[in-house]
Amino acid sequence: MKLGIFGATGLVGQSMLKILEDRPTFKDVDLVLFASARSAGKVVSYRGKDLVIEELSEENIKKAQLDYALSALDASLAAEFLPIAAREGVICIDNSSNFRMDEDKPLVVPEINLASIKEGDKIIASPNCSTIQSVIPLKPIYDHFGIKRIIYTTYQATSGSGVGGLRDLEEGAKGEEPTTYPYPIAYNLLPHIDSFLDNGYTKEEMKMINETRKILGDDSLAITATAVRVPVKYSHAVAINVETEKPFSLEEVRKVLEDFEGIILEDDPTKNIYPMPLNVAGKDEVYVGRIRRDESIENGLNLWCVADNTRKGAALNTIQILEKVAKLA
């Protein structure tokens, strides 16, 4: 199998390479790495071999004769280059927001809706990082108790903005001016992720709302979101408030969460145990804690969930999709 990585030098691209190297399923896969002209010719070590970065261009995509591509490009580059690869017959799995809400493209979290991928699909979208880690605990709750309304509040790490976000945090702590964010992120919080829309929400907030409905397959879900950038390097946290259709006990909620693939419960307030970004960075699962009733309404539930945005929120999710589509796992 020949696999291309588009945007191999970025944070998500580098995370993909690390995960692919660790997974025996990819031992015999030939990799071709692509990035901008700035990176072309640079050498990356992978499984003991030196791989040379190629410039992403129509000509180089055609020359590479890929079977699959994992894309870690921004939305406008994905819009330009993925259709070129798809026309060449390459099955592309994309991290950007560009194709997520297209009616004819599946938006996939493998633990939830692999079945939405149809024979012949050439572009498969991976959801927004905060959406992925939120829908994983919401899915078993939706299936067992039904959901009327969701309120999301996110606490998102700077690596969510790629290498530029990490730079603003690290250099900002030394007094440098920001270049990625409109204000300093060190010692600060920004209630602003992606651009503002006419309805006063940010694009990031609307991505969480619309993508959650698409993945859970329920357009009637009432959802609102506030997305906040925090001075953390890796792992997003999301406080999720849910109103269920049916009554539940906290024991039942814990059980359905524990039984769901990809969730680890860390929830023992008597011992100060709850998920935190520092402990979850580098891990594959979604960590859930602070499970408690919202006592202000009849069927209300509060959860706190943390996941590594560069892994389950991006690179790992696309690699898990690829393993299923290519029947490697």
- What are the catalytic residues? 129, 236
The count of residues interacting with ligand NAP (CB under 6 A) is 28
Q: Which stretch binds ligand NAP (CB under 6 A): 6-14, 110-118, 171-179, 248-256?
A: 6-14
Q: How far is the CB of 126 from ligand NAP (least distance, A)?
A: 7
Q: Which stretch binds ligand NAP (CB under 6 A): 32-40, 85-93, 112-120, 134-142?
A: 32-40
Query: Strand ranges (DSSP E) for 269-323?
Result: 286-294, 300-307
Out of 51, 70, 95, 321, the residue judged to bind ligand NAP by CB under 6 A: 95
- Report the distance separating Cα 6 and Cα 23, nearest Å: 19
Q: How far is the CB of 251 from ligand NAP (least distance, A)?
A: 34
How far is it between the farthest Cα atoms of the chain? 61
Q: Which stretch binds ligand NAP (CB under 6 A): 137-145, 155-163, 199-207, 251-259?
A: 155-163
Instruction: Go through 73-108 and write b for each residue having 16 or more CB atoms within 10 A of its CB, e for each that does not.
Output: beeebbeebbebbeebebbbbbbbbbbbeeeebbbb
Asked if 235 touches ligand NAP (CB under 6 A), the answer is no
Out of 96, 131, 133, 235, the residue judged to bind ligand NAP by CB under 6 A: 96
Between the CA atoms of 324, 326, 327 and 329, what dihedral angle is there, to the nearest 10 degrees?
A: -60
Cβ closest to ligand NAP, residue 127 vs residue 140: 127
Name, in order, each residue with C-beta under 8 angstroms of 25's C-beta and a sequence gap of 6 or more: 323, 328, 329
Degrees to nearest 5, angle at CA 97 with 93 and 99: 60
Out of 133, 158, 299, 309, the residue judged to bind ligand NAP by CB under 6 A: 309
- Report the distance separating Cα 284 and Cα 264, nearest Å: 10
Q: How far is CA 282 from CA 204, 305, 321, in A?
A: 23, 15, 19
Out of 3, 4, 13, 235, the residue judged to bind ligand NAP by CB under 6 A: 13
Q: What is the DSSP secondary structure assignment for residue 312, as one 8-state letter?
A: I
Out of 208, 242, 314, 321, the residue judged to bind ligand NAP by CB under 6 A: 314
Asked if 160 touches ligand NAP (CB under 6 A), the answer is yes
Name the strand (E) or helix (H) holding 137.
helix 129-145
Out of 35, 82, 92, 230, the residue judged to bind ligand NAP by CB under 6 A: 35
Q: How far is the CB of 21 from ligand NAP (least distance, A)?
A: 17
Q: Check: CB of residue 43 under 8 Å from CB of residue 52.
A: yes
Asked if 74 touches ligand NAP (CB under 6 A), the answer is yes
Q: Which positions touch ligand NAP (CB under 6 A)?
A: 7-13, 35-36, 38-39, 56, 72-75, 77, 95-96, 129, 159-160, 162-163, 309-310, 313-314
